[in-house]
Amino acid sequence: MGSVASAAVPPPPPQSALPQAGAPPYGPGLAGILPQMSKGEEKKDEKVDYLNLPCPVPFEEIQREALMSLKPELFEGLRFDFTKGLNQKFSLSHSIFMGSLEVPAQASETIKVPTAHYEFGANFLDPKLMLIGRVMTDGRLNARVKCDLTDNLTLKVNAQGSDYRAQFQIGNNAFYGANYIQSVTPNLSMGTEMFWLGHQRKSGIGFASRYNTDKMVGTLQVASTGIVALSYVQKISEKVSLASDFMYNHMSRDVTASFGYDYLLRQCRLRGKIDSNGVVAAYLEERLNMGVNFLLSAEIDHCKKNYKFGFGMTVGE
């Protein structure tokens, strides 16, 4: 008799045990454990194209976001500004101011002198040419001219490349200055400046850096004059941003820190600040109608007993 061997095919597994289509080979349980890479992390993994960096902000505007909240255009008294556009490029302006002028004094108390003036202005704005003139009732005359010779060079010697800016300035009292700022990465820019005051026989050099993202801006400035300045701006939302700064003067040993906010509402904009000296300030711009804005300004310094309140109106764009 011979031996007989038989084999039977095992029954198929139930459908619940079979892997579903599109399931990862390491099992469905691990899919929820492994973190998914966000779009921001994917962008970080991309190599930085150092030959195609963005153009940085001008050196003198490196703290512009912080200054918007911490240095509003405060005033004391009555202010009225009217601007009339004659055409798309030419406009005339009229300004009236009635208030007080602070006079420097050796004592801690502030001396104020009543003052009032009228200012007439003419503006010519063109993409290639800008002419601005102002004349006041006390005889002062101010004028500014800016003419673009090419896309990268202007008469004020402001050269701009794809990822850098350079500027040379000449002013009164034999003032000469130059600055340069360069984008190092898409978010980081660094620059330096030099100046010479001929009449005072003084010179100085400074360095600055700026780091900005969609949600924050941080800056650092150091100068040979003994000034160290830091600022930080955090964008909470599209309408709210918070700002802070710190300034140290090595020569006078003065330290000042301030905190400010910028709140943009539907019909108004509110800005304010408080600093380490106890000075509290607020500035409100309310839009009454198209081209008509109402202004409220307040600054309180209890230590020096200096209180400033102002209101005004601007008409025209």
Q: What is the pLDDT of residues 284-294, one digit of tens each?
A: 999 999 889 99
Angle subtended at Cα 315 by Cα 313 and Cα 317, rounded to the nearest 5 degrees = 130
* Residue 7: predicted pLDDT: 45
Is the predicted pLDDT of residue 262 greater than 70, yes or no? yes
pTM: 0.74
* Residue 187: predicted pLDDT: 92
Give me the half-sphere count of Cα atoms (radius 13 Å) on the Cβ side of residue 263.
11
Residue 206 lies in a domain: yes
- Residue whose C-alpha is closest to residue 181's, from 54, 69, 47, 50: 54
Q: What is the pLDDT of residues 193-235, one digit of tens each?
A: 999 988 888 899 999 999 999 999 999 999 999 999 999 999 9
Residue 6 lies in a domain: no
Q: Name the residue range of residue 271's domain.
A: 50-315
Residue 10 lies in a domain: no
* Residue 103: predicted pLDDT: 80
Confidence of residue 1 (pLDDT cuts 50, 70, 90): very low
* Residue 156: predicted pLDDT: 55
Does residue 253 come out as left (phi exceeding 0), alpha (psi in the -120 to 50 range) or beta? Answer: left
Does residue 100 come out as left (phi exceeding 0), alpha (psi in the -120 to 50 range) or beta? Answer: beta
Residue 78 lies in a domain: yes
Residue 5 lies in a domain: no
* Residue 170: predicted pLDDT: 79
Specify the number of domains making up the chain.
Answer: 1
The enclosing domain of 208 has a CATH number of 2.40.160.10
Residue 133 lies in a domain: yes
- Residue whose C-alpha is closest to residue 82's, from 92, 69, 74: 92
CB 223 within 8 A of CB 230: no
Over the chain, what is the mean pLDDT?
83
Residue 13 lies in a domain: no
Residue 71 lies in a domain: yes
SS3 assignment, position 44: helix
Is the predicted pLDDT of residue 153 greater than 70, yes or no? no
